[in-house]
Structure 1
Amino acid sequence: MDSPVIAHLKEHKDKIVELWMKKMDEAAAEAPQSNINYKALITTNETFAEVIYNYILNDGSSRNLNEFIGRILQFGWPLSYLTHGIQVFRRVVIEVIGGKAENTKELLQLYQQTDAIIDPISNKLIHDAAEQWENTVYLQKNALMELSAPLIPVMEKISVMPLIGTIDTERAKLIMENLLEGVIEHRSEVVLIDITGVPIVDTMVAHHIIQAAEAVRLVGAKCILVGIRPEIAQTIVNLGITLSDFPTRSTLKEGIETALKMTKREIVFIDQEGSD
């Protein structure tokens, strides 16, 4: 059997939605979101109100609510839009039905019943939004990691691993795995680790690089660190980090030349005019 609040929600739906839309519009005017088009906001507010009503009147059927949350987050709208909308809906319902109570006791009961109806929506909204954000971040992180730290064979016995972006502990583990698997797969004798695209080299990053070079040595290959810019060289010196266990070069070109010598090869320029 429907509670008095449910009965009031059905009876005064048009009034509640109209007042809720007005308050949401006022809130948007006071704190406008630069990335939200006003026309889109109005349309979305209408959908939001309908989603809330569907959830309440359909005994907690959450399909429409889940889909709505997903679209909001996909479009990059702030989570505060959802949480604020629920709280405004709660206040509007209490404002509309509060005048229907005949005494204080009945008014208190209406308030309690309203909270019992709205709280599950608020809790589910926050839970689902957080879950979807975590899933999105997880997928993006995995995609980024899959594209990062490849070991590229540039010629027989010589491979290059270009590193781009910040290196944290988790990414360092991936680098190590890709490095060792690639050395074995490509039968590399020399690996060039290119840190040209690494913005900051601190003690932790240097430690990870040294570990990677040591791991390469243990599987029978040698490592050359290339792409050391002047500011990075100065940072390494200031931090007291020693990279004496493996060669370093300032550019990839110099690194490849060194790798060729280490594999007993050299670059030979052919005189095209004298080749006839």
Structure 2
Amino acid sequence: MDGKFKKIVIDNSDTIVHMWLDEVDSLKDGNYTSSISDELFENTNREFVNVIFSSIQKQGASISLEEFSEKLINLGWPLSYITDGLQVFRRVTVDYILSQSDQVDSTYISNVLKSVDMWVEPIIRQLVNEYSGSWEHIVSLQRVALQELSAPLIPVMDSITVMPLIGTIDTERAKLIMENLLEGVIRHNAEVVLIDITGVPVVDTMVAHHIIQAAEAVRLIGSTCILVGIRPEIAQTIVNLGIDLGKFPTKSSLRKGFTAALEITNRKVVDLDGKEESIGRMLDSLNGE
């Protein structure tokens, strides 16, 4: 930034800050920050302007660009808050510098605009890059977490595991189900796997195809797959679509599927001091009943 203009900005920083805060505050009603408390909005604006002025004074901001952008993401504020705020700051600063001089010729105005742009533009680029990088990192972590939760395999007893499925099953998720299923069967040495589709809203040809593939893969490594949670409307859909699920057992509920799994593994539930009922409650909790 031109030394002369820089001195004007630094010497009159309080005035420029108040002008900027007034303009930004006037934009609060009716936009993306309208639901934010006045105290949080004011504090964040002051941190924002501190970051801006620290860049021109070459002194390290009290809150770094990376920390500030990450804070905005955690607050749920959009990127437009940064770009809008800096555009307002650019305009306010240019207007103030021009107001301090009697020169109004085009050359002087051009020099002011160029000088302010040389200050503000790098801040815009860096803040946008930091914001985007932090956002992508957070989204990546969330995606990993969702993948881990989208196809869990739960060992409920020796040789018996349950995979409860909730939500829509697409091709990418079906691949993850297959991988987790095969790895889990081997890791837990499972003889029987219960795939619970109680929480799957729609079972169409594609979903059924993926489930059949998963069950067939389990069979090829020496285990049995039981499909449970088949509701009446799902059963009707399967019949109407002509989908053949006859290659592996199906049950209407997790409780019935677990009983079948015990029989396959040469075990049974014995009513001994209420233990049978406790097992039933455990299965109901897994099934969300």
Task: Tell me the TM-score range normalised by the shorter chain.
Answer: 0.7 to 0.9
Note the C-alpha offset of 1:129.
1.0
Determine if contact 1:164/1:195 at 8 Å carries over to the other structure.
yes
Aligned to 1:254: 256
Residue type of the partner of 1:243?
Answer: L
Note the C-alpha offset of 1:163.
1.7
Aligned to 2:54: 54
Gaps of 5+ in 1: none
2: distance between equivalents of 1:34 and 1:203?
A: 46
Note the C-alpha offset of 1:50.
1.1
> Which shifted more, 151-160 or 61-70?
61-70
Instruction: Give CA-to-partner distance per residue, 1:208-239, whole Å, 9 cap, x none.
Output: 22221121011111211111223333444455
1: distance between equivalents of 2:104 and 2:34?
A: 45
Aligned to 2:67: 67
Residue type of the partner of 1:74?
Answer: N
> Which shifted more, 209-218 or 196-205?
196-205
Aligned to 2:203: 201
> Which shifted more, 154-163 or 43-52?
154-163
Of 223, 230, 243 in structure 2, the residue corresponding to residue 221 of structure 1 is 223
Aligned to 1:109: 111
Aligned to 1:90: 90
Aligned to 1:37: 37
1: distance between equivalents of 2:166 and 2:182?
A: 18
Residue type of the partner of 2:151?
Answer: A
1: distance between equivalents of 2:257 and 2:95?
A: 73
Aligned to 1:79: 79
Residue type of the partner of 2:253?
Answer: T
Task: Report 1:9-20 matches (<5 A).
Answer: 9-20=9-20
% identical equivalent positions: 53
2: distance between equivalents of 1:263 and 1:157?
A: 8
Determine if contact 2:65/2:130 at 8 Å carries over to the other structure.
no
Aligned to 2:193: 191
Task: Report 1:94-173 matches (<5 A).
Answer: 94-99=94-99, 100=101, 101-173=103-175
What TM-score, normalized to structure 2? 0.83
Q: How many residues align?
A: 272
2: distance between equivalents of 1:196 and 1:70?
A: 39
Instruction: Give CA-to-partner distance per residue, 1:100-154, whole Å, 9 cap, x none.
Output: 3441112112112222221121122222111111111111222232344332233
Determine if contact 1:55/1:62 at 8 Å carries over to the other structure.
no
Q: For 2:77, what is the secondary structure of its paired residue? A: coil
1: distance between equivalents of 2:71 and 2:31?
A: 22
1: distance between equivalents of 2:96 and 2:64?
A: 25
Residue type of the partner of 2:38?
Answer: Y
> Which shifted more, 57-66 or 27-36?
57-66
CA spacing shift, 1:271–1:96, aligned 2, 3 Å: closer
Determine if contact 1:193/1:225 at 8 Å carries over to the other structure.
yes
Aligned to 2:278: none
Residue type of the partner of 1:160?
Answer: V
> Which shifted more, 248-257 or 203-212?
203-212
Determine if contact 1:157/1:188 at 8 Å carries over to the other structure.
yes
> Which shifted more, 246-255 or 32-41?
32-41
Gaps of 5+ in 2: 275-289
Q: For 2:197, what is the secondary structure of its paired residue? A: strand
Aligned to 2:287: none
> Which shifted more, 227-236 or 119-128?
227-236
RMSD value, Cα: 2.7
Task: Report 1:231-270 matches (<5 A).
Answer: 231-269=233-271
Determine if contact 1:20/1:88 at 8 Å carries over to the other structure.
yes
Residue type of the partner of 2:235?
Answer: A
Note the C-alpha offset of 1:167.
3.1
Determine if contact 1:151/1:179 at 8 Å carries over to the other structure.
yes
Determine if contact 1:36/1:77 at 8 Å carries over to the other structure.
no
Q: For 1:259, what is the secondary structure of its paired residue? A: helix
